[in-house]
Amino acid sequence: MSLARVVEAAGIALTPHGKDLLGLCPFHADHDPSLVITPSKNLWHCLGACQRGGSVIDWVMLIEAVSFQHAVELLLSDYAPAALHAPVAGALPPGAPAPCIP
Ligand SMILES: [Zn+2]
Protein backbone atom coordinates (compact mmCIF):
# COMPACT_ATOMS: atom_id res chain seq x y z
CA MET A 1 0.00 0.00 0.00
CA SER A 2 1.53 3.29 -1.11
CA LEU A 3 1.45 5.85 1.68
CA ALA A 4 1.63 8.73 -0.81
CA ARG A 5 -1.51 7.44 -2.54
CA VAL A 6 -3.35 7.12 0.77
CA VAL A 7 -2.31 10.64 1.80
CA GLU A 8 -3.40 12.08 -1.54
CA ALA A 9 -6.69 10.22 -1.16
CA ALA A 10 -7.25 12.35 1.94
CA GLY A 11 -7.14 15.41 -0.31
CA ILE A 12 -3.62 16.50 0.61
CA ALA A 13 -1.48 17.80 -2.24
CA LEU A 14 2.08 16.51 -2.08
CA THR A 15 5.07 18.35 -3.47
CA PRO A 16 8.33 16.53 -4.23
CA HIS A 17 11.22 17.67 -2.07
CA GLY A 18 14.35 15.66 -2.69
CA LYS A 19 13.52 12.04 -1.92
CA ASP A 20 10.56 13.11 0.19
CA LEU A 21 7.14 14.58 -0.43
CA LEU A 22 5.85 17.60 1.47
CA GLY A 23 2.26 18.51 2.22
CA LEU A 24 0.06 20.30 4.68
CA CYS A 25 -0.45 18.32 7.88
CA PRO A 26 -4.15 17.54 8.41
CA PHE A 27 -3.68 16.93 12.13
CA HIS A 28 -2.92 20.52 13.13
CA ALA A 29 -3.56 23.98 11.66
CA ASP A 30 -0.77 23.86 9.13
CA HIS A 31 0.07 26.87 6.95
CA ASP A 32 3.57 25.85 5.91
CA PRO A 33 3.88 22.28 4.67
CA SER A 34 5.26 20.36 7.64
CA LEU A 35 4.06 16.91 6.68
CA VAL A 36 6.96 14.86 5.31
CA ILE A 37 6.31 11.62 3.43
CA THR A 38 9.23 9.32 2.72
CA PRO A 39 8.04 7.04 -0.10
CA SER A 40 11.13 4.84 0.02
CA LYS A 41 10.32 3.90 3.63
CA ASN A 42 6.55 4.37 3.38
CA LEU A 43 6.74 6.52 6.52
CA TRP A 44 5.43 9.99 7.35
CA HIS A 45 6.01 12.50 10.07
CA CYS A 46 4.95 16.02 10.92
CA LEU A 47 7.65 18.58 11.65
CA GLY A 48 5.07 21.08 12.88
CA ALA A 49 2.95 21.44 15.96
CA CYS A 50 1.60 17.92 16.34
CA GLN A 51 4.82 15.94 15.72
CA ARG A 52 2.80 12.91 14.71
CA GLY A 53 4.17 10.27 12.41
CA GLY A 54 4.40 6.60 11.60
CA SER A 55 3.40 4.08 9.00
CA VAL A 56 0.49 3.98 6.60
CA ILE A 57 -1.47 2.19 9.32
CA ASP A 58 -0.86 5.04 11.78
CA TRP A 59 -2.02 7.47 9.12
CA VAL A 60 -5.30 5.63 8.50
CA MET A 61 -5.89 5.30 12.27
CA LEU A 62 -5.56 9.08 12.70
CA ILE A 63 -7.28 10.29 9.54
CA GLU A 64 -10.20 7.87 9.89
CA ALA A 65 -10.24 7.92 13.71
CA VAL A 66 -10.33 4.14 13.87
CA SER A 67 -8.54 1.43 15.85
CA PHE A 68 -5.36 -0.30 14.67
CA GLN A 69 -7.40 -3.39 13.78
CA HIS A 70 -9.92 -1.34 11.80
CA ALA A 71 -7.16 0.54 9.98
CA VAL A 72 -5.58 -2.75 8.90
CA GLU A 73 -8.96 -3.98 7.70
CA LEU A 74 -9.48 -0.77 5.72
CA LEU A 75 -6.08 -1.18 4.07
CA LEU A 76 -6.71 -4.84 3.30
CA SER A 77 -10.06 -4.00 1.77
CA ASP A 78 -10.28 -1.62 -1.13
CA TYR A 79 -9.34 1.54 0.77
CA ALA A 80 -9.90 4.75 -1.21
CA PRO A 81 -10.47 2.93 -4.49
CA ALA A 82 -11.08 6.16 -6.41
CA ALA A 83 -7.62 7.44 -5.62
CA LEU A 84 -5.89 4.09 -5.95
CA HIS A 85 -7.30 3.51 -9.40
CA ALA A 86 -6.71 7.04 -10.61
CA PRO A 87 -4.37 7.28 -13.57
CA VAL A 88 -0.79 8.11 -12.79
CA ALA A 89 0.07 11.72 -13.59
CA GLY A 90 1.29 11.94 -17.13
CA ALA A 91 -0.23 8.60 -18.12
CA LEU A 92 -2.22 8.55 -21.32
CA PRO A 93 -5.98 8.11 -21.02
CA PRO A 94 -7.41 4.88 -22.43
CA GLY A 95 -7.83 5.05 -26.18
CA ALA A 96 -5.18 7.72 -26.65
CA PRO A 97 -2.71 7.13 -29.45
CA ALA A 98 0.41 5.29 -28.38
CA PRO A 99 3.38 7.58 -27.81
CA CYS A 100 6.15 7.43 -30.39
CA ILE A 101 8.97 5.57 -28.70
CA PRO A 102 11.92 5.11 -31.05
ZN1 LIG B 1 1.03 18.17 12.24
CATH number at residue 48: 3.90.580.10
Boundaries of domain holding 41: 3-84
Q: Which residues surround ligand 1, an ion (CB under 5 A)?
A: 25, 27-28, 46, 48, 50
Residue 68 parent element (H or E) = helix 68-76
Q: What is the pTM of this model?
A: 0.75
Cα–chain-centroid distance for residue 30? 17
d(CA 85, CA 75) in angstroms, rounded, equals 14
SS (H, E, C) 3-44: HHHHHHHCCCCCEEECCEEEECCCCCCCCCCCEEEECCCCEE
Confidence of residue 86 (pLDDT cuts 50, 70, 90): very low
Say if 53 falls within a structural domain: yes
Q: Is residue 60 part of a domain?
A: yes
Whether residue 30 is contained in a domain is answered as yes
Q: Does a structural domain hold residue 101?
A: no
Is residue 89 domain-resident?
no
Q: How many angstroms is it from 51 CA to the middle of ligand 1? A: 6
**Residue 94 pLDDT > 70:** no
Pick the more confident residue, 2 or 35. 35
Distances in whole angstroms, Cα of residue 1 to Cα of each of 20, 34, 49, 82, 95: 17, 22, 27, 14, 28
pLDDT, tens digit, for every residue of 32-82?
Answer: 999 999 999 999 999 999 999 999 999 999 999 999 999 999 998 877 645
* 51 located within any domain: yes
Q: Is residue 61 part of a domain?
A: yes
- The number of domains in the chain is 1
In a domain, 9, yes or no: yes
pLDDT of residue 83: 47
d(CA 75, CA 50): 24
C-alpha 88/C-alpha 83 separation (Å) is 10
In the reported structure, the alpha carbon of residue 84 is separated from the centroid of ligand 1 by a whole-number distance in angstroms of 24
